[in-house]
Amino acid sequence: MKLDLDGRTALVTGSTQGIGAAIAAGLAKAGARVVINGRNDAGVAKAIETLQSQVPDGEFVAGAGDVTTDEGARRVLDSAGRVDVLVNNLGIFGAQEPLEITDDDWRRYFEVNVLAAVRLTRLTLPAMTEQGWGRVLNIASDSAVVIPAEMIHYGMSKTALLGVSRGFAKAAAGTGVTVNSVIAGPTHTGGVEDFVYQLVDKNLPWEQAQREFMKTHRPQSLLQRLIEPEEIANLVVYLSSPLASATTGGALRVDGGYVDSILP
């Protein structure tokens, strides 16, 4: 299979580390010009340096800016130029007692995890439909379907992304543009390591802490381990490619069998 993205520009939000950085590397390996996004110039520059060492032939462009604001989103898009592939990866998460989640917390999770994706889709979709080709991918989570008791505000935001993806897919019907969401399972990133240690003994070595977390808090995983970011990226790169031209309006799972259903 040749996942040919030569001549295409991809914007990956929140791509200075973790899943976003892995997606950026994967898209670059497929030939895309990849816009790296983070809040500040220094963080983006450092990420590009790391990515360039991983993909020496890759083309990376700095796209610093806060996409949770209209001004920041437009700044990033100005840096990007034309966007053929939009990957809305930016997201926040954290454990919190349900009755202690404030109105401000609810708003923040919605604005960062949902509204930023909506804003960028609204700004990029017209040009994609005009040229008759484009890809929009929203990185959701198993938490969209299996709402975690310890972070229902996060689960709510990821459920919303599934609806957003389906709705925009209908808006792009018949244009050659596809819109999908990717349901990522529990994934091994630095942020997740911090989250794991919120829920298990902080004195445990990482491998033991990970096993305890999966056993106690994610026992339904068929993989029985955390997913590596590159495994999420593999599906995203495929869905970004011309080979995925008949896949749209879907919620595609790369969750290690975490969601106990045949369909999401």
44-69: pLDDT as tens digits: 999 999 999 999 999 999 999 999 99
Spell out the residues 6+ positions from residue 213 whose beta carbon is closer than 8 angstroms to its own.
196, 199, 200
CATH number at residue 42: 3.40.50.720
Question: Which of 109, 154, 197, 258 is an active site residue?
Answer: 154
Whether the predicted pLDDT of 264 surpasses 80: no
Q: Which residue has the higher pLDDT, 263 or 230?
A: 230
238 assigned to active site: no
Residues 149 and 203 in one domain: no
> What's the rounded mean pLDDT across residues 81-94?
96
Give all strands (DSSP E) within the chain, no chain letters: 9-12, 33-36, 59-62, 85-88, 134-141, 177-184, 251-254
Quick one: which of 101, 196, 200, 199 has its CA closest to 155? 101
Same-domain pairing of 93 and 136: yes
Domain that holds residue 20: 9-187+229-254
Say whether both 122 and 173 belong to one domain.
yes
Q: Examine residue 168 and state whether it is found in any structural domain, yes or no.
A: yes
Looking at the structure, tell me whether residues 148 and 83 fall in a common domain: yes
Q: How much is the average pLDDT of 102-111? A: 98
